[in-house]
């Protein structure tokens, strides 16, 4: 009898934890691009039950290729980095095959210009330097009308709105991504948030995130937190 009560109590508490958003430990990866660190990290400081370690490249790629990666529930990429070894590339592919939760933000779509498979991971590519293809471009300080493309746990509670941030132009986007956010801004790439399936993972990409204004935009904060929580829950089902 006592065992039974204990069991019920255990099941009850674990379902409560799942509902309120289980505590999550993030690896937040930067490197290769400067940013306003205090404004950026204040977004994560506001997330209840979320802890993180900020790892700057090349250290992050070393950890990704090691057993230490298992200490993290979600990897949040905010790096813009080009150096990656063959074993580190394989570690990325292995993580995705294993169904690890990953969220890519903003200029992380510019990373690894010389690694063709990187577009298959993120779902899109900002072409910075390959002049044999259409080159991408950017513009800062733009009012960007955002349309919610899909009812989804990531977009839950967010209505169409206009945000102020940086646009990327002429990026390549894979045809089979699941659109979450779009914009009618004539210069921007048309999709600015999506889910890309790769291996056993569903990678989330959010294009916004240059800052600093966007770091206190309540809609962006909600999308970011819901991307992280959905990724964690979805990949640890």
Which one, 89 or 210, has the nearer CB to Zn ion? 210
Return the residues of window 23-52 that contact Zn ion according to CB under 5 A: none
Beta strands in the chain (DSSP E): 24-30, 50-56, 74-77, 101-105, 124-125, 137-148, 161-169, 172-173, 178-183, 191-198, 201-206
> Cβ 110 to Zn ion, closest distance in Å?
9
> Cβ 200 to Zn ion, closest distance in Å?
30
Contact 231, 202 (CB under 8 A): yes
Residues 76/181/48/38 CA torsion (nearest 10 deg): 60
With vertex at residue 198, the alpha carbon angle to CA 120 and CA 89, rounded to the nearest 5 degrees, is 60
> Cβ 211 to Zn ion, closest distance in Å?
8
DSSP single-letter state for residue 219? H
| Residue 236 to residue 160: CA distance in whole angstroms | 30
> Cβ 21 to Zn ion, closest distance in Å?
29
Which one, 88 or 128, has the nearer CB to Zn ion? 128
The residue whose two tokens read 């490249």 is 57
Pick the piece of the chain touching Zn ion (CB under 5 A) from 56-64, 77-85, 188-196, 207-215. 207-215
- 3-class DSSP state of 125: strand
Which one, 138 or 198, has the nearer CB to Zn ion? 138
| Residue 171 to residue 154: CA distance in whole angstroms | 23
Taking CB under 5 A as the criterion, the residue among 89, 100, 210, 229 binding Zn ion is 210
* CA-closest candidate to residue 177, choices 119, 97, 127, 110: 119
Residue 85 has, within 13 A of its CA and on its CB side, a CA count of 12
C-alpha distances (whole Å) from 21 to each of 77, 95, 149, 230 are 21, 23, 25, 10
Binding of residue 100 to Zn ion (CB under 5 A): no
> Cβ 49 to Zn ion, closest distance in Å?
29
Return the residues of window 157-176 that contact Zn ion according to CB under 5 A: 166
> Cβ 143 to Zn ion, closest distance in Å?
16
Which one, 105 or 177, has the nearer CB to Zn ion? 105
Which one, 166 or 225, has the nearer CB to Zn ion? 166
Total of residues contacting Zn ion (CB under 5 A): 2
> Cβ 111 to Zn ion, closest distance in Å?
13
Pick the piece of the chain touching Zn ion (CB under 5 A) from 44-52, 112-120, 154-162, 204-212. 204-212
Binding footprint of Zn ion on the chain (CB under 5 A): 166, 210
């Amino acid at each position: 009898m006592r065992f039974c009560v204990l069991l019920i109590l255990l099941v009850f508490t674990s379902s409560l934890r799942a509902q309120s958003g289980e505590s999550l430990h993030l690896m937040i990866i930067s490197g290769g691009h400067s940013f306003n660190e205090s404004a950026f990290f204040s977004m994560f400081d506001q997330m209840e039950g979320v802890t993180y370690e900020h790892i700057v490249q090349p250290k992050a790629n070393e950890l990704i290729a090691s057993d230490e990666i298992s200490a993290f529930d979600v990897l949040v990429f905010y790096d813009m980095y080009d150096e990656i070894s063959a074993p580190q590339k394989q570690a990325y592919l292995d993580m995705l095959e294993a169904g690890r939760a990953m969220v890519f933000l903003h200029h992380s779509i510019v990373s690894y210009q010389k690694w063709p498979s990187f577009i298959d991971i993120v779902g899109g590519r900002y072409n910075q330097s390959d002049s044999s293809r259409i080159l991408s471009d950017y513009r800062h300080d733009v009012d960007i009308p955002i349309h919610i493309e899909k009812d989804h746990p990531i977009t839950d509670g967010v209505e169409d709105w206009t945000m102020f941030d940086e646009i990327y132009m002429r990026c390549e986007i894979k045809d089979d991504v699941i659109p979450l956010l779009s914009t009618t801004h004539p210069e921007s790439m048309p999709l600015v948030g999506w889910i890309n399936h790769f291996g056993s993972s569903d990678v989330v990409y959010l294009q916004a995130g240059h800052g600093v204004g966007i770091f206190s935009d309540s809609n962006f904060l909600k999308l970011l937190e819901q991307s992280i929580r959905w990724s964690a829950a979805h990949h640890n089902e």
